[in-house]
Amino acid sequence: MVASLRSPRRVVVAIFLVTSLCLLLTLYHRASQPSSPFLEPENGPVTAETPTPTPGNRELELVVASVRAEDTSWFHTYLPSWHKNIYVADDPDASLTVPLNKGREAMVYLTYMIDRYDSLPETVLFVHASRFAWHNDDPDYDALPTLQNFQLPYLRATGYVNLRCVWVIGCPAEIRPELDAAQKDSAEKVMAKHIYKDAFEELLPEVSILPEVVAVSCCSQFGVTRETIRSRPKADYIRYREWLLATPLDDALNGRVFEFAWHIIFGKEAVHCPSAAACYCNVFGLCDIPCKDDSCDGRYVLPPFSSLPKGWPLVGWEQEERNFTGPLPLPPSTT
């Protein structure tokens, strides 16, 4: 009896010892391997990569209104890390284009807002294609430093920012809608100010009182936040574009209507003419320059012609050499 009781007990003890030894060996083997949060599939290890930002997560995007004849390579050369949406308005086969080349930059801007309404980045800068243009608020009429110096925190705080601070052309009282409309029939040439009242009432019927004066520094280049764009329903931007597509007004008029309406569309007062000193400081970080209300020393002078001379910025109006110190594009390859 005694022997028969001991034999099963020995078997149980032996099984326990073998099981414990196997468990210890397994734990030792696992502890000796490098730890990893990933499982390795049959075709190799999975590696962690930094995800590419989705459009809605981007801090900033550029929207560029261009035509085929314009050189937009400078955006890639000098702003390589900026996300660029370069629309070619007169090329229906371009990757980014518009329903109809009409309304100048307004058609591009509206198309972007409509198509990207649900995936907007945090901030957007809407600009023209040419690096050097008479209206760029820079001593050399160079758009590059205005973009490089742009203060994103100020845009985030205000929702809409014009890229031009100087008052000449646009401020302090560019359009008087009621008075200018009354002079339309007697004007030698119909200008945007003459048709602004009718266009304004069609585009912004929710504004019950027609502004007595409309003013903003030209020329349809500005920054705006996602929240500001979305403060209006997408249907508004679709309606603006449909108006632009349908209007019999030519581009010299319909584009100018939007030029002096964007700031109102985005929630600013009809007269939006901040002092030059405050604007240059807040928008471009240029805070220590002598200023008057409408301009600051050494910043912008209205050029004698709207077309810059051939050879600009190295060659001036009298064919004199200019001391331009900014970066220039590489010369075209001869090979």
Transcribe 88-101 into DSSP letters: ETT-TTSSS--SSS
Q: What are 127-162's pLDDT values in tens digits?
A: 999 999 999 999 999 999 999 999 999 999 999 999
Give the span between the Cα atoms of 183 and 253, in whole angstroms: 16
Instruction: State the first-to-last Cα distance of the chain, in angstroms, to the nearest integer.
Output: 105
Q: Is the pLDDT of residue 34 over 70?
A: no
Beta bridge partners of 162: 222
Residue 94, domain member (yes or no): yes
Residue 83, domain member (yes or no): yes
Q: What are 49-94's pLDDT values in tens digits?
A: 445 567 778 999 999 999 999 999 999 999 999 999 999 999 999 9
Radius of gyration, CA atoms only, the chain = 32
Q: What are 267-291's pLDDT values in tens digits?
A: 999 999 999 999 999 999 999 999 9
pLDDT value of position 329: 63
Give the span between the Cα atoms of 292 and 310, in whole angstroms: 32
Q: Is the pLDDT of residue 16 over 90?
A: no
Residue the block writes with tokens 């632009």: 244
Residue 316, domain member (yes or no): no
Residue 231, domain member (yes or no): yes
Rounded to 10°, the helix 105-115/234-246 angle is: 150
Cis peptide before 287 (omega within 30 of 0): no
Q: What are 188-233's pLDDT values in tens digits?
A: 899 999 999 999 999 999 999 999 999 999 999 999 999 999 999 9
pLDDT classification of 46: cutoffs 50, 70, 90 = very low
Indicate which CATH number applies to the domain containing 272: 3.90.550
Residue 20, domain member (yes or no): no
Residue 89, domain member (yes or no): yes
Domain extent, residue 154, equals 55-170+216-284
- Strands of the sheet with 160-162, listed across from one edge: 83-88, 60-66, 123-128, 222-225, 160-162
- CB-based contacts of 88, cutoff 8 Å, min separation 6: 66, 67, 68, 94, 96, 97
pLDDT value of position 39: 28
pLDDT value of position 188: 84
Q: Which amino acid is at 97?
A: T
Q: Residue 137's closest CA among 159, 116, 174, 162?
A: 162
Residue 304, domain member (yes or no): no
Q: What are 229-271's pLDDT values in tens digits?
A: 999 999 999 999 999 999 999 998 999 999 999 999 999 999 9
More confident residue, 16 or 297: 297
Both structure tokens of 69: 């004849």
The proportion of the chain whose per-residue pLDDT surpasses 70, expressed as a percent, equals: 82
Rounded to 5°, the CA angle 57-59-60 comes to 120
- CB-based contacts of 38, cutoff 8 Å, min separation 6: 45, 46, 48
The distance of Cα 119 from the centroid of its chain, to the nearest Å, equals 13
Residue 120, domain member (yes or no): yes
Average pLDDT in the 166-192 region?
95
- CB-based contacts of 169, cutoff 8 Å, min separation 6: 135, 217, 218, 219, 302
Contact 83, 100 (CB under 8 A): no
Give the number of domains in the chain. Answer: 1
